Amino acid sequence: MNCSGIEVATGQSIGIEFDYRIRDVWSVDRQADPKLLVAPGFIDIQVNGFGGIDFNDPEATLSDTAQALDHLLATGVTRCLPTVITGPPDHMLACLTHLRRAQRGLPRRRLIAGFHVEGPHISPEDGPRGAHPAEWVRPPDISEFHRWQEATNGNIRLVTLSPHWPEAPAYIAAITQAGVTAAIGHTGATTEQIAAAVKAGATLSTHLGNGAHAALPRRSNYIWDQLADDRLSASFIVDGIHLHNAFLQTALRAKNVARSVLVTDASAPADARPGRYRLGAQDVDLTPDGRVVLAGTDRLAGSALRMNDGVLNLTRLGGLTLREAVATATVNPARVIRLEGRMAGIERGDIADLVLFRRTATSIEIEAVFIEGERAR
């Protein structure tokens, strides 16, 4: 199969020949549609639900999950990590078991690149804990991790935890040795605890700038510590709600584009109408202005961000070029979770996950999506 467009990474008109993998890439003298752009398919490594469907609902049907994946596909996402958050052990395990069934059996199963477990080994404090239920926060337990892996046939790719737990360094070392990416998040950890986590193998800060206290010490705090450590990449929720523009721009400069990852942290209300939804055992509301909050509060509980909108927001709010913004949604997350065949971009040998789109002043409009060489949209 062939397609053509303006390659976002180079600005050049190219043709691409592909089946499962990209077989050839060549320059095109004259582009038939000079406004059609082509990039690797988007990758979202933190998505709690989408299109009205909660990935933290163990009673969800395969049809429900298929609906969520269809909505994700329409935003240019070709790979994602459905994310299970803090909850009772049996509940979390049931969610992962269901999602693994979806990964095995759905027509859109190839969108599911693995799973992200965010919690339950996070800070119990208000602020850093975010919207996670306090009663189910617990210390790192490698036996629980092994149960997750057994339920998913070894498909846990990312675990977010707080390094303040005494068990954290040994836990991080164990899961990274198993090939899983360890991320720091929802933490109030000290400088020494963060350093110990990085030494043990942590390589990512999850949605940096969120899941934090409302006020922090000016001279030294866990945000600065993570920003300053070049061994840590960082993910950001770029919806214009979770982060102030000045912090976003500063953080992107500190991390530089190569260590920055766009995530949606989307929950069930994403790509759905304002109203009440669920996030695990909790009610959440999508407000008319686009916020997802715990019902009856102003506490954020994920987002309603679409990945294509996040890419555009990085150019408008973060000051990145389109090329840079696309990198944070494609090759950068692939490298963070070591997703084979997606780390080079549009190059011979990489898996043919592609998105064709147009950029306007107010939107990124998805025209076509290919997954493993097959047109999916």
CATH 3.30.420.10 correct for 41-346: no
Question: 292 with 284: CB under 8 angstroms?
Answer: yes
121-140 per-position pLDDT tens digit: 999 999 999 999 999 999 99
| Its pTM surpasses 0.85 | yes
Average pLDDT over the chain reads 96
CA of 338: how far to CAs of 158, 199, 271, 371, in Å? Answer: 10, 19, 28, 18
Angle at which helices 168-177 and 142-152 cross, to 10°: 30
Phi, psi (degrees; rounded to nearest 5) at 86? -50, 130
265 as an active site residue: the answer is yes
Angle at which helices 142-152 and 89-105 cross, to 10°: 30
**Identified catalytic residue from 44, 64, 225, 265:** 265
What SS3 state is found at 201? coil
Beta-carbon count within 10 A of 365 CB: 13
CA of 242: how far to CAs of 129, 145, 232, in Å? Answer: 15, 29, 20
Question: CA 374 to CA 213: how far, in whole Å?
Answer: 45
Task: Kindly state the DSSP code that residue 180 receives in the 8-state scheme.
Answer: P
283-338 per-position pLDDT tens digit: 999 999 999 999 989 899 999 999 999 999 999 999 999 999 999 999 999 999 99
Question: CA 217 to CA 278: how far, in whole Å?
Answer: 34
Question: CA 164 to CA 137: how far, in whole Å?
Answer: 13
Instruction: Report the DSSP pairing between strands 13-18 and 2-7.
Output: antiparallel
Q: From first to last of the 377 residues of the chain, give the pLDDT tens digit.
A: 999 999 999 999 999 999 999 999 999 987 778 899 999 999 999 999 999 999 999 999 999 999 999 999 999 999 999 999 999 999 999 999 999 999 999 999 999 999 999 999 999 999 999 999 999 999 999 999 999 999 999 999 999 999 999 999 999 999 999 999 999 999 999 999 999 999 999 999 999 999 999 999 999 999 999 999 999 999 999 999 999 999 999 999 999 999 999 999 999 999 999 999 999 889 999 999 999 999 989 899 999 999 999 999 999 999 999 999 999 999 999 999 999 999 999 999 999 999 999 999 999 999 999 999 999 99
